[in-house]
Amino acid sequence: MRQEDSQTTNQDDQSIDLDGSISIAEVSAEDIDEAALGVRGIPLDKIERGKKLIVDLYLPRYSRKDGKIVVHRILKAGKPLRAGEFNFLRNYGFDVVYVPIGQMPQFLDEEARKTRKALNNPLATTDAKAEMLRDNATMVVEQAMTDPRLGDNIQIGRELVTAVTDFIDDTPDAIQSLVDILTIDYSLLSHSVNVCLIIVALGYFLGLTKDQITSIGLGGLFHDVGKRNLPEAILKKPSRLEEDEWALMRNHPTEGFQMLRESGRLPAESLKMVYQHHENIDGTGYPRGLTGEQIATQSQLIRIIDAYDAITSERVYKSASTPSEAIRIISHEMYGQFNELLLQSFVKFLGRIGGKKPMKLRPRRHP
């Protein structure tokens, strides 16, 4: 955070007074390099009006000095965002406000608390609850992808997965709702959330214990964390990766495993999933080329779901396949890579709940 730009437009932080000389409305969320500015964008809707904030709020603007985009604080933690100010921001076109990355764990904790409360609300629809869990999961993964304090995020991830399992326990049709609201356009975040939600739902279908389901859910949520240091150019490359790029890509299970192991908070079963989620039964996978029973069952399971989600997602270079097309590709074109028995169970599970549904899509904030 640049100190000289981290000041508010008025003296006391109490109200938002947008100075006419600041071309504040011209900065769009897509132009903001959150990592470089040390902030994380959150939907304005997430801020409760009139309630004391637990984090500082920032808005972007162009620096007077050099015209670069900077952020400046509009409200300090402990002060409320009043309804009039909220509406002012909304009318100005600010759908996103910014929180310092270092304060995100507090924000996510608070969101988790609100979600738990909403899950107990008998008037909220099952789909709305499922969407809330999905959005929370997205924020947790986003934080894990950038925050060096991975341990705190794993703890928040655990609470989130527990909230998902409680939701399934308490709500008829919860599994159907969770699968219905999966996102079809691919991003590292939505993919991680999809894999987590599908594997938790599948865990129930397979009759696993709650502890096992929590472990595989956590493994699903964090399985691609090792990609967080990969350059965007590799992550989003529409064409085939060059040999050196591919070498970096192949390293993500090992890198993720090492990062998460150091944090000391992830169960061993989940850690194995992170390390082995690209290993194939026939030995053609990576990083170690393990075969058959050398690969843990939960890793064999995530291998199927990881492939399924990638195939049924829309990428720059391909459209999304339907669930049945995906199963055909996994069972025939990729024959031999997966555990056949687990694959059959997954096909039965999809037969029951139907797979990802493009028509339920909503616009998403993340690229």
CB of 188 to Fe ion, least distance (A): 8
CB of 220 to Fe ion, least distance (A): 9
Per-residue burial over 222-233, b = 16 or more CB atoms within 10 Å of its CB, e = otherwise: bbbbbbbebeee
When the beta carbons of 152 and 224 are compared against Fe ion, the nearer one is 224
When the beta carbons of 163 and 221 are compared against Fe ion, the nearer one is 221
CB of 69 to Fe ion, least distance (A): 32
CB of 154 to Fe ion, least distance (A): 18
Q: How many residues does the chain have?
A: 367
Which residues make up the interface to Fe ion (CB under 5 A)?
224, 306
When the beta carbons of 60 and 285 are compared against Fe ion, the nearer one is 285
- Distances 357 to 125, 179, 269 between C-alpha atoms, Å: 18, 8, 30
Q: Which two tokens stand for residue 24?
A: 């504040």
Residues 6+ apart with CB under 8 A from 149: 105
Kind plus residue range of the DSSP H or E element containing 97 = strand 96-100
When the beta carbons of 13 and 306 are compared against Fe ion, the nearer one is 306
Interstrand relation of 69-75 and 57-62 (parallel, antiparallel or unpaired): antiparallel
CB of 234 to Fe ion, least distance (A): 13
When the beta carbons of 115 and 300 are compared against Fe ion, the nearer one is 300
CB of 235 to Fe ion, least distance (A): 11
Residue pair 54/60 in contact by the 8 Å Cβ criterion: no
When the beta carbons of 180 and 306 are compared against Fe ion, the nearer one is 306
State whether residue 73 is helix, strand or coil: strand
**CA–CA separation, 150 vs 42, rounded Å?**
20
State whether residue 69 is helix, strand or coil: strand
